[in-house]
A and B are shown apart, each in its own frame.
Chain A
Amino acid sequence: MTALVGMLSALAVLPLILIFGYLILKGASSLNLEFFLSNPVPAGQSGGGVAHAIVGSGIIVGLAALVGLPVGIGAGIFLAEYGSGRLGWTVRFVADVLNGTPSIIIGIFAWTWIVRPQGHFSAFAGAVALAVILIPLVARTTEEMVRLVPHSLREAALALGYPRWRTSLSIVVRTALAGIVTGGLVGVARVAGETAPLLFTTLGNLNFSTHVTEPMQALPLQIYVYATGPFPEWHRLAWAASLVLILLVFGLALVARRVAANRYGTR
């Protein structure tokens, strides 16, 4: 039985190895300077790159983090510090509901909320959709991390004459900071790979754009277009772009783990 369990475990991680293998096999050879520095060429021609999508993803995800992280971390602090009552219960439940909500639904929500009233697709709308995904995720991880801080530290600070807010910020949150940053990075890594919420918000763009009020390309969107398109050249680019995306996402996840491991002190 132990052998069976071990084999099934190996089977579970086999796809990861296969996917990574294929990404390297089919994508690595396309990673050259042109791929990173140029924008798409007209369909049917060979060459071109995804500079526009890399920059676009950076802008969209950065904007989402800018909006989502403060709100999510603040909500998480609320849950840990003041969340014992009815309101806390409600917020916690709502966060879990939102965490379970399919991202495509967040996408059409952002469309009705921002795209339709404004009358045009925009990178901003996509960033809002990603932020809506990020907020409940970060709120719950922040809460867990803050809760890990021993009560005795809080008491020690209060006994020194720290006001409550300073106890919370400079002792409790500060102690949990590594964990909070890790949670934030993991959340950002997750939304960086999201495609569905961007379909009807940022829409995509074959040109290089840095205007957040206009449609913008993101790496996952570009992969979707290339993967489902008819041209072998597009498929080649899709593999290469996927390799870049996965390296970015895994890179963020690895940095997150390093932050968690490097925490100054114990919890």
Chain B
Amino acid sequence: MHLATERLTARYHGRPAITEVSLGIRPRAITAVIGPSGCGKSTFLRCLNRMHELSDGGTVEGRVLLDGTDIYGAGVDAVQVRRRVGMVFQRPTPFPTMSIYDNVAAGLRVNGVARRRMGEIVERSLAQAALWDEVKDRLHGSALALSGGQQQRLCIARALATEPEVLLMDEPASALDPLATQRVEELMVTLKQAYTIVVVTHNLQQASRVSDYTGFFYLGDLVEFDQTARMFTNPSDGRTEAYITGRFG
């Protein structure tokens, strides 16, 4: 098991958003996290790279093991954790003052990557994110000139550039049109050959299309976790069934 949580509880100002979640995430696979709004799925994701603690009043109990080390353990630097566990957000977040090239190189700069290696890594990351051909002629142009879908792939390239082991994606396609969504989904399937991916989505079709495993959250609890195919055809919990058949949410 590459990444696992043990009795993970996250709170906002003392109120739990997720309670005692224990879950093992398979390497080189896509794990989808689904559930109705407010169920804690985004909070769960943000605990995996120590982003939750940056939220106002955010606290965490329990353990998150990355290759056997508790990322919340004493002496662990959150900054180092985030370099190993990359993240892509709901809305594209290119840095507006940077060019396309600099956006991809942004994480490399804080990681102390030598300048001469940067060009090559930027190209590789953009290629991995299936964006290279579209932007190779304007690498030094503003990242804001790109379309929404391109911006989101740029953010994926930016996250990939630092060679994280895990990629967290928080509803990465919810702000995109269907065509751009499809491209991002294809990209995720390609990327899982090299990365462990955890994706939060409210789109059940998307979860069933791209993921290998699915966890269903409801009211802060992990209700069910299983292989995606099994969960969508034969859920074991009544609440899961109710949700995936569209009876609530």
Contacts and interface: CB of A to CB of B under 8 A. Distances in A.
Question: Are chains A and B touching directly in their complex (CB below 8 angstroms)?
Answer: yes
Contacts of A158: 51, 54, 82
A25 to B, nearest CB: 45
B144 interface: yes
B79 interface: yes
Contacts of B173: none
B162 interface: yes
A155 B54 contact: yes
Contact of B107 (A153, A160, A177): A160
Contact of A161 (B93, B111, B142, B144): B111
A158 B91 CA distance: 16
Interface string A241-267: 000000000000000000000001111
**Interface of A, helix, strand, loop or mixed by DSSP:** helix
Contacts of B51: 155, 158-159
A174 interface: yes
A163 interface: yes
Nearest to B155: A156
A152 B95 contact: no
A166 B97 CA distance: 15
Q: How many A residues are at the interface, by size bracket?
A: 20 to 34
B96 A161 contact: no
B89 A152 contact: yes
Interface of B: 49, 51, 54, 79-80, 82-83, 86-87, 89, 91, 93, 95-97, 106-107, 110-111, 142, 144, 155, 158-159, 162
17 contacts: A153-B93, A155-B93, A156-B89, A156-B95, A158-B51, A158-B82, A160-B83, A160-B162, A162-B79, A163-B79, A174-B95, A177-B97, A264-B142, A265-B96, A265-B97, A265-B142, A267-B96
The 6 closest A-B pairs by CB, nearest first: A265-B96, A161-B83, A159-B87, A156-B93, A160-B107, A161-B82
